[in-house]
Structure 1
Amino acid sequence: MGLARAYERMAAVAVAALHERDPSRLWPMLAGALADLCGGEAVIHKLDEWSEREGTIGVAPYAAATELRRLGDADLALLRAGYPLARHYAHRTDRTPVSAHRAVGRAWPDSATARLLSDVWDVDHVLGVPLPDSTTPVTGCLVYRAGTDFTDDQLAMAERAQPLLAAVERQRQLLEEWRRALGPAGAPDDRGADERAADCALTPRETTVLLLLTNALTADAIGRRLGISVRTVHKHVENIYRKLGTRDRLGTVLRAQQLGLVPRPGLP
């Protein structure tokens, strides 16, 4: 698959992800497309800190995840440490994707991490693709491949994909926040929050905009939070008004509270 075509697929998957109601499915949807884009064979997505002690590791494809589950604590700690990429990004603000070999040169093939990856997945190289706005500790993806190191073109395509990855991660965080806010205390009936939103024909993207409206954010602030233009925010707001049968922000928030789409005042 050519790089341009792979990027088109990545963009299409990212758009599809923004219509996915289950936040736990967003990154698995992206992983395969990111691997294709970067010429990789497996992807680890770590959305919490890259540390030896903790951190959830999501892996694609399934075969790679199966091999990962066989590792002991010491090997998992080595993988979580993210050598040498965690160290590389910790000392700079630049979040440009870089391969392990480019980061440390000859030290990479002889490292314990490189030997582990060769034993477990039969891969030789790893590419760090951090989320562009992540701070220390860095979060993002690790792409693995066998054979030669990642090319300049593949690194450039990974950099082009970073805004797409960031947009999906913001969506995931907001959907998780929305679900937590609408726990059992916020539910007017036995239906789930996703089902109530679907009954109102609200897309997942419109649902996150509605949540931010409820939090009294301006259109500018919502745009910054979601990484979209103010014009796009207004379009989403218009759709929400139409679907809820309201005309302004206050009426929309009150109506959404009545329908159990957002938390009611005073609820935790």
Structure 2
Amino acid sequence: MGTTAYERVLSVAVAALHERDPEQLWPLLADRLPVLCGGDALIYKLDNWNESEGTLGLSPGATAEFAALTEDDMALLREGYPLARHYADRAGRAPVTARRVAGRSWPGSPTARLLDDLLDVDHVLGIPLPQSTTPVTGCMVYRSGRDFTDDEVRLAEQLQPLLSAVEQQRHLLRRLGSPSEEVADLALTPRETTVLLLLGDALTAGSIGRRLGISERTVHKHISNVYRKLGTHDRVSTVLHAQRLGLVPTATAARP
């Protein structure tokens, strides 16, 4: 990864991990990821969907075009040809392009023709979440002209841990309600908030690190910041105080 690409990835990571609204995390990625992978547009899916139901998330530049899609068009996109079958038939989740999976049959497929008419794009790069099962969740990046290069596919693979971390962050932040004025005054960062939630689930620092894809040392740094901001000195008092503030659900209290 070149220095410029690394700096761009780091910028996206920092922006995502400082976003407090869980519903804005993937729209943020959808806006910034295509250019990192040499693409023009992006679709992401996070829930279990098939040809008839489920939510498609779009990069901002593609919203208007998708608004005009018919139900048959949407079903074709949801079908995910040929990537859905490719990932369903194997355990690996390495990024791959539609052209490399389908070969010469890709340009003449109904999906390729729809994408050409809809977005004026010719190629698709699938980037699944590393731990996703069937149906596969993740995103697809689109571009016109040439297929994605080996370097762009490798960069997509290096982005997968970031996508996984953002999705984990989204799930944790969705457990929170609207912060009270008292909570807002604490100025917990989104990352500190997610660490606090996992403390409330009685996870060790090592387990929290594995869940969030960060080092145990970084977890301890976040815990120290949480203690300082909440004015507490140990895990149990921190979780109990966080419960009183509504930061940690009572049902997930840590036991003394």
Is residue 130–residue 141 contact of structure 1 (8 Å, CA) maintained in 2? yes
Is residue 196–residue 260 contact of structure 1 (8 Å, CA) maintained in 2? no
Contiguous gaps of at least 5 residues in structure 1: 183-191
Match of 1:123 in 2: 121
Match of 1:205 in 2: 191
Alignment partners' CA distance in 1, 2:11 and 2:218: 18
1:264 positional shift: 2.9
1:217 positional shift: 1.1
Match of 1:40 in 2: 39
Is residue 6–residue 36 contact of structure 1 (8 Å, CA) maintained in 2? no
Alignment partners' CA distance in 1, 2:128 and 2:182: 35
Bigger shift: residues 99-108 or 192-201: 192-201
Q: Tell me the TM-score normalized by structure 2.
A: 0.93
Secondary structure of the 1:144 match is strand
Secondary structure of the 2:188 match is coil
1:198 positional shift: 2.4
1:213 positional shift: 0.7
Match of 1:5 in 2: 4
Alignment partners' CA distance in 2, 1:121 and 1:43: 11
Alignment of 1:61-76 (within 5 A): 61-62=60-61, 64-76=62-74
Bigger shift: residues 80-89 or 45-54: 45-54
Question: 1:46-86: CA deviations, max 9, x gaps?
Answer: 11235212221111133x11110110111001101111001
Counterpart of 1:239, as a letter, is N
Counterpart of 2:206, as a letter, is D
Q: 1:93 to 1:211 in 2, by over 3 A?
A: same
Alignment partners' CA distance in 2, 1:79 and 1:211: 36
Match of 2:48 in 1: 49
Counterpart of 1:259, as a letter, is L
1:111 positional shift: 0.8
Is residue 11–residue 164 contact of structure 1 (8 Å, CA) maintained in 2? no
1:195 positional shift: 4.9
Q: Return the match for 1:214 from 200, 209, 234.
A: 200
Is residue 200–residue 252 contact of structure 2 (8 Å, CA) maintained in 1? no
1:203 positional shift: 0.7
Percent identical pairs in the alignment equals: 65
Alignment partners' CA distance in 2, 1:89 and 1:169: 19
Alignment partners' CA distance in 2, 1:81 and 1:194: 42
Q: 1:229 to 1:74 in 2, by over 3 A?
A: same
Secondary structure of the 2:196 match is helix
Cα-Cα RMSD = 1.8
Alignment partners' CA distance in 2, 1:13 and 1:195: 29
Alignment partners' CA distance in 1, 2:116 and 2:180: 42
Match of 1:112 in 2: 110
Alignment partners' CA distance in 1, 2:181 and 2:89: 45
Q: 1:115 to 1:202 in 2, by over 3 A?
A: same
Is residue 209–residue 222 contact of structure 1 (8 Å, CA) maintained in 2? yes
Counterpart of 2:179, as a letter, is A
Number of residue pairs matched by the alignment: 253
Counterpart of 2:209, as a letter, is G
Q: Return the match for 2:220 from 204, 214, 234.
A: 234
Is residue 131–residue 162 contact of structure 1 (8 Å, CA) maintained in 2? yes
Q: 1:100 to 1:258 in 2, by over 3 A?
A: same
Alignment partners' CA distance in 2, 1:197 and 1:128: 39
